[in-house]
Amino acid sequence: MDERQINTKIKNEIKKYETLKKSFLKLYESEGKAKKGRLENFTKFDRMQEDDNPQLKKIYETFKTEMETLENFRQNHLNKINDLILPVTNCYPNKLKETKEYLKNYEEAKKTKEKLEKSRNEVSNENVGQVQKINAELAKSRTDEKNKEEKVEEGITKFESDKCKDNKNLFLHFIHSELKYHAAALENLTNLFTEINEIDPLENIDDFINKYKIDLDLKELGIDLDAIKSKKEEREKKEKNKESAVYGDDFEESNKNGESRNNILNSGNPASENDNED
């Protein structure tokens, strides 16, 4: 065993884990700052939509809500990484210090053995009692040195094994969390794109014209109000059909009687019946 190499490795590994910890903390900090900046930008949509028509307001609100949801998802993902990585990076310096202590004990045992060997060579063979005493101490010292050497080798090997497994798990967890976030972003933003794309921004253009008493042939601007209204009716019909497919004929029938959707959804629900009784 080369104790000098092991001692150098211990010092280097402590520096490595400090670097690893700082890297993940910087990542956490930079993403937190970026999130704050992005959320501040989203709040500006509140002021932008004050005087806009309902369809534009819906675009602003839909976009802002979905992006805030993604930002919160991102923060949860970062918190999980932080909670997992920091405890691991914190424990390794202590593990290395423990191995360093084993190495120190081994080096002391080695020096003690060498002193006894030197004393044994200096004592005359005629001094039988002294020779026997030194030989007994030397045998004990050699056993002690061997045990402490094994302790160092066991400690540094276990450290290397744990380090490899833990590093693998750290980065796998990080990649898994990143994939989960980006998969959620892809899904949410696709839904957001579809929802916004279905909105006709000119749906309420007639309200604007009436409000400001504008007298203009809209067809000259390429605006066909009849076609817009027809599309609106078609979209509302499609949405109504979706609701019917989800809630069934009972929902349609109850709507005629003035019942709310929540009442229909709660019908037959034991929890809701108990609530009503209370």
- Quick one: pLDDT at residue 249? 53
How large is the average pLDDT for residues 79-96? 80
- Superfamily name with CATH number, domain 3-199: Arfaptin homology (AH) domain/BAR domain (1.20.1270.60)
DSSP string over 61-81: HHHHHHHHHHHHHHHHHHHHH
Q: Is the pLDDT of residue 164 over 60?
A: yes
The stretch 29-43 carries a mean pLDDT of: 79
Q: Which of 250, 231, 252 is nearest to 241 (CA)?
A: 252
Locate the domains of the chain by residue range.
3-199, 206-277
Distance (Å, whole) CA 195 – CA 63: 10
Question: What is the rounded CA–CA span in Å between residue 15 and residue 62?
Answer: 47
User: Which pLDDT band holds residue 271 (cuts at 50, 70, 90)?
Assistant: very low
Task: Read off the pLDDT of residues 168-187 as tens digits, 9 standing for 90 and up.
Answer: 888 888 888 888 888 888 99
Work out the average pLDDT over 59-66.
84
pLDDT of residue 180: 85
Show the CA angle centred on residue 160, arms to residues 80 and 18, nearest 5°. Answer: 50
Kindly report whether the global pTM for this prediction surpasses the value 0.75: no
How many other CB atoms are found less than 10 A from the CB of residue 103? Answer: 22
Task: Read off φ and ψ for residue 276, nearest 5 degrees.
Answer: -65, -35
- SS3 state at 139: helix
Q: Using CB atoms within 10 A of its CB, is residue 230 exposed (0-12), middle (13-18) or buried (19+)? A: exposed
Q: How far is CA 220 from CA 71, 188, 200, 205, 227, in A?
A: 43, 38, 19, 15, 15
Place of tokens 């028509």: 53
Query: What is the residue type of 187?
Result: E
Neighbours of 222 (CB within 10 A): 6
- With a CB cutoff of 8 Å and minimum separation 6, the contacts of 9 are 156
